[in-house]
């Protein structure tokens, strides 16, 4: 049986994204630009669904439980004329934890943890920040979520979660998946072992 079609949206830009801070499982509010990303993702999704001769109600809607993902899903659904709150959350879609690095800006990390960051660059997939998760850890819970998906779905989650999903679907090897550029305001279509980007 073929894997379900997933229309995947990374949450809109947040205050910490704009400041270059690692968020992980901490939250910050969507910026005005992030709110626009959510609306734009809804517009793209509407066009994709119509192109395929389907309806918005044909899909399950599921989000990471983190605030920035839920805010994106709700704004996106409202822009589509859907009940903003009629979706599910699944904890397995939460962003990977950066542990004690959460809230820290990259320049500060480079100043105080240069050697550790160098180790991360050598093996990003298996690297685990202090008190956090590796992509290999994240893969385990994303795979468990993916294996339970039974219908075509619209998913709002995170950059790290998308990279793990790329590995789950065997679209790229883990080392390549770990450096995939997952952007805001874009809809990614996971279809079988293919990945298409719509902006």
pLDDT in tens, the chain (199 residues): 689 999 999 999 999 999 999 999 999 999 999 999 999 999 999 999 999 999 999 999 999 999 999 999 999 999 999 999 999 999 999 999 999 999 999 889 888 888 888 888 889 999 999 999 999 999 999 999 999 999 999 999 999 999 999 999 999 999 999 999 999 999 999 998 899 999 9
To the query of whether residue 11 is one of the catalytic residues in this protein, the response is yes
Residues 6+ away with beta carbon under 8 Å from 186 = 9, 10, 41, 44, 197, 198, 199
Distance separating alpha carbons of residues 188 and 163, to the nearest angstrom: 12
Count of C-beta atoms within a 10 Å radius of residue 50: 11
Architecture of domain 6-14+31-94+133-198: 3-Layer(aba) Sandwich (3.40)
Of 95, 133, 158, 184, the catalytic one is 95
37 is catalytic: no
Reported pTM: 0.95
């Amino acid at each position: 049986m073929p894997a379900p079609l997933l229309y995947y949206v990374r949450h809109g830009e947040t205050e910490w994204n704009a400041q270059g801070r690692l968020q992980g499982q901490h939250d910050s509010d969507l910026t005005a630009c992030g709110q626009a990303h959510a609306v734009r993702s809804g517009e793209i999704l509407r066009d994709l669904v119509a192109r395929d001769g389907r309806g918005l109600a044909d899909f399950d809607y599921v989000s990471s439980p983190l605030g920035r993902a839920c805010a994106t899903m709700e704004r996106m659904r409202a822009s589509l004329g859907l009940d903003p709150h009629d979706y599910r959350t699944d904890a397995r879609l939460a962003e990977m934890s950066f542990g004690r690095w959460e809230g820290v800006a990259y320049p500060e990390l480079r100043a105080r943890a240069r050697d550790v960051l160098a180790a991360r660059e050598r093996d990003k997939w298996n690297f685990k920040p202090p008190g956090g998760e590796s992509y290999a850890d994240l893969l385990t819970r994303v795979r468990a979520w993916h294996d339970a998906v039974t219908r075509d779905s619209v998913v709002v989650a995170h950059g790290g979660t998308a990279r793990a999903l790329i590995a789950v679907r065997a679209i790229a090897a883990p080392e390549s998946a770990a450096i995939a550029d997952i952007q805001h305001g874009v809809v990614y279509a996971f279809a079988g072992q293919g990945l298409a980007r719509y902006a």
